[in-house]
């Protein structure tokens, strides 16, 4: 089955700096890669996603890149703010048909210091 590795497990940055979280996946058939942000006491919230026919996607301060050949994808947060502090999860899925379930990475605790 699919396996997703996520690094680092913790990341501490100064406000205004950039943060990068990296994930690798094992199943070349995976074609959908969402990123979730989980704040304390809440469920994971989708912040950005990318499909395998796209190499990069950006939404304001957040961007995701995908390298299908190397089977890895990354989350980039620029100009970090204290409210970006949370646990971030990457996931992979074979979207479509009966292949829909998400395989998650173990999460990255991001701390943005004011």
Partner 1 sequence: EAGVTQFPSHSVIEKGQTVTLRCDPISGHDNLYWYRRVMGKEIKFLLHFVKESKQDESGMPNNRFLAERTGGTYSTLKVQPAELEDSGVYFCASSQDMGTGGVFGPGTRLTVL
- List residues binding partner 1 (CB under 8 A): 4, 32, 34, 36, 41-46, 49, 89, 91, 93, 95-98, 100-107
- Distance of closest approach, residue 98 Cβ to partner 1, in angstroms: 7
* C-beta closer to partner 1: residue 3 or 18: 3
- Distance of closest approach, residue 64 Cβ to partner 1, in angstroms: 14
The three state secondary structure string of 43-81 is: CCEEEEEEECCCCEEEECCEEEEEECCCCEEEEEECCCC
């Amino acid at each position: 089955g699919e396996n997703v590795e996520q690094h680092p497990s913790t990341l501490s940055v100064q406000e205004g700096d950039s943060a990068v979280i990296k994930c690798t996946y094992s199943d070349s058939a995976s074609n959908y890669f969402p990123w979730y942000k989980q704040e304390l006491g809440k469920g994971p919230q989708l912040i950005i996603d990318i499909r395998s026919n796209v190499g990069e996607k950006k939404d304001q301060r957040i961007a995701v890149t995908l390298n299908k050949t190397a089977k890895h994808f990354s989350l980039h947060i620029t100009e970090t703010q204290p409210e970006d502090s949370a646990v971030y999860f990457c996931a992979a899925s074979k979207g479509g048909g009966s292949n829909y379930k998400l395989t998650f990475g173990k999460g990255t605790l991001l701390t943005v210091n004011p």
